[in-house]
Amino acid sequence: MKKKQIVILINILVYIFALLYVLPIIWTIISSFRLEKDLFAYPPKLISEFTLKNYVKVIQTTDMLTYFKNSVIVTVSSTIITIIISLMAGYALAKIKFKSKNFFFTLFLSTLMIPLQVIMISIYFVLARIGWINTYWGLIIPPAATPTGVFLATQYIKSSIPNEVIESAKIDGASELKIFWRIILPLCQPVIAALAVLSFTWRWNDYIWPLLVVSSPKYMTIQLGLALFSGEHTVQWGSLLAMTTLSMIPVLIVFLSFQKYFVKGITMGSIK
Residue 195 CA to its chain's centroid (Å): 10
3-state DSSP assignment of residue 207 = coil
Residue 165 or 176: the one with the smaller Cβ distance to other proteins is 176
Residue 186 or 231: the one with the smaller Cβ distance to other proteins is 231
The 3-state secondary structure of 121-172, one letter per residue:
HHHHHHHHHCCCCCCHHHHHHHHHCCHHHHHHHHHHHHHHCCHHHHHHHHHC
Contact 183, 167 (CB under 8 A): no
- The minimum distance between CB 157 and other proteins, in angstroms, equals 11
Sign of CA dihedral 235, 236, 240, 243: negative
Picking from 19, 28, 209, 47, the residue whose alpha carbon sits closest to that of residue 117 is: 209
- The minimum distance between CB 155 and other proteins, in angstroms, equals 7
| Residue 236 to residue 218: CA distance in whole angstroms | 21
- The minimum distance between CB 237 and other proteins, in angstroms, equals 7
CB atoms within 10 A of CB 131: 10
Residue 121 or 186: the one with the smaller Cβ distance to other proteins is 121
Tell which phi-psi region holds residue 148, choosing left (phi > 0), alpha (psi between -120 and 50) or beta. alpha
Residue 52 or 112: the one with the smaller Cβ distance to other proteins is 112
- The minimum distance between CB 61 and other proteins, in angstroms, equals 18
- The minimum distance between CB 89 and other proteins, in angstroms, equals 5
- The minimum distance between CB 240 and other proteins, in angstroms, equals 7
| Residue 37 to residue 40: CA distance in whole angstroms | 6
Residue 24 or 186: the one with the smaller Cβ distance to other proteins is 24
Q: Return the DSSP state at 5.
A: H
Q: Which long-range contacts (CB under 8 A, 24 or more apart) does 66-69 make?
A: 66/217, 66/218, 66/220, 67/220, 67/221, 67/222, 67/224, 67/225, 67/226, 68/222, 68/246, 68/247
Residue 97 or 164: the one with the smaller Cβ distance to other proteins is 97
- The minimum distance between CB 262 and other proteins, in angstroms, equals 7
Residue 33 or 237: the one with the smaller Cβ distance to other proteins is 237
